Structure 1
Amino acid sequence: MELAYHPHDLLWVNQLADNQQTPAWFHLKDLITRPVVVRRAPYEADRIAVGIRGYNRSQRHGSFVNSQAVFRHITPEQLVAKQGWHTQQQTHPLPHWQTLTQIDRIFRSFDLSWGITGSLAFELATSVETANQQSDIDLRVLAPTPIDKTTACELAKELAALQQRPDVQIETPLGAFALSEWTHTSGSVMIKSNQGPFLSVSPWQTDSD
């Protein structure tokens, strides 16, 4: 089944799916300006699993929204296409923005599409200053078909040479795995799926295939 939204996509919604109990730091009015983040969870008909972010790292809450509540949607790859880190560097200087320019150059040389996730993505999408000097550079690569491992090792080597090393997750139809883990092992890697984690020798298929 082809899903409309992938983990780490940002959604602006006008309501949550249920009258759920929400944390004290969350207010429904926050949904107007602060998107929710699609998270991994077992699929439920017309219920999208999302995470709500607060104003600091400890403020996280899992919830659900209905597809009808979504009025805006931005993917990590669309954030890269906008190249918004150039503007953000002027308003909220961080070394991460220059690193993203270097990362973009590397991915272009490999002809691979990539996306920004985590706190950097949230800041680029909202202009709310959620990132800081200690923020990780979290990235994803949507890979519906297998990536050659030799190419992946070359990519990982170039990214590792950067002063700020990014954390790259490869997103397959089965789930996501860490680029660094895959390129440093000849055995199984951990796949994070909607049904939970599992090990596979080939990230694009289960060991029972």
Structure 2
Amino acid sequence: MASLNLAAPAPHDLIWLDDPASALECAALPAWVSLPALHDTPVVVRRDGRRPGEIPVGLRGSTRAERFGTWIAPSAIRRLVTPMDLAAGCAWRLRPALAALPAIRALEAIAGRLDAAGIRWGVTGSAAFSLACLVNVLHADSDLDLVVQADQPLPASQFQLLGELQRNAPVRVDIQIATPYGGFSLLERLRSGGRVLLKTDHGPCLCDNPWQPSPCKS
């Protein structure tokens, strides 16, 4: 697993801060944020283009309600791991203590089929956080969050496979499709047959073709 990815950070990437106190000194942090803990746990890149040149990140606490968004400078990055790094390295096999969790069992069951289909995919959400550091935030009812990188429209066969895996997995699987313009829900696309809510750096955009989203529809 690479310690530093030279590409620009993308949504869902995990970042370890070189000096959390300095990186976040201008942020009005909530009381639950532990700066010492951020030496060993990552923040996650989110979508927000309001500060060009800075990286929008999210901090997570011990509960779902404990989430905080802020920005960091690129120079604050000590280490970066992408969702695709976790998938390519089969990171779940390096954490045998998590193997019995339903989300991890589902990951093991579907990873080979995704790879065989030539799908560029990665692990996000709680599973990614738990696999990337020694802090486990997964539990028996956790969903499995995945991202599929698709610079061009996916072939029908890949859409069908993703839909099948999503329907038949032993846990709820949330698959986001990442296009050059933003990300959308696979389930929404399958249900609507086309129109989706595309999450972009400048807010949500309702569109019929997420690979050619302009003009957006409100």
TM-score (norm 2): 0.88
Residue 4 of structure 1 corresponds to which residue in structure 2? 8
Deviation of residue 18 (structure 1)? 4.5
Residue 3 of structure 2 corresponds to which residue in structure 1? none
- Equivalent-residue separation in structure 1 for 2:85 and 2:27 (angstroms): 31
One-letter amino acid of the counterpart of residue 211, structure 2 = W
Residue segments in structure 2 that go unaligned for 5+ positions in a row: 1-6
Q: Which runs of 4+ in 1 moved over 4 A?
A: none
Residue 168 of structure 1 corresponds to which residue in structure 2? 175
Q: Superposed, which structure 2 residues align to 1:49-68 within 5 Å?
A: 49-68=56-75
Tell me, yes or no, if structure 1 residue 40 matches structure 2 residue 47: yes
Whether the aligned pair in 1 keeps the contact of 2:102 and 2:141 (CA below 8 Å) is no
Q: Superposed, which structure 2 residues align to 1:116-195 within 5 Å?
A: 116-195=123-202
Deviation of residue 199 (structure 1)? 1.1
Tell me, yes or no, if structure 1 residue 77 matches structure 2 residue 87: no
Tell me, yes or no, if structure 1 residue 103 matches structure 2 residue 113: no
- Equivalent-residue separation in structure 2 for 1:166 and 1:194 (angstroms): 24
What CA deviation, in whole Å up to 9, does each residue of 1:153-188 have, x standing for no partner? 232123311222311000001100111111222341
Residue segments in structure 1 that go unaligned for 5+ positions in a row: none
Single out whichever of 153-162 and 21-30 deviates more from structure 2: 153-162
Residue 112 of structure 1 corresponds to which residue in structure 2? 119
- Equivalent-residue separation in structure 2 for 1:207 and 1:46 (angstroms): 24
Whether the aligned pair in 2 keeps the contact of 1:79 and 1:116 (CA below 8 Å) is yes
Identity over the aligned pairs, expressed in percent?
A: 35
TM-score (norm 1): 0.91
- Equivalent-residue separation in structure 2 for 1:60 and 1:158 (angstroms): 29
- Equivalent-residue separation in structure 1 for 2:86 and 2:39 (angstroms): 19
Single out whichever of 197-206 and 41-50 deviates more from structure 2: 41-50
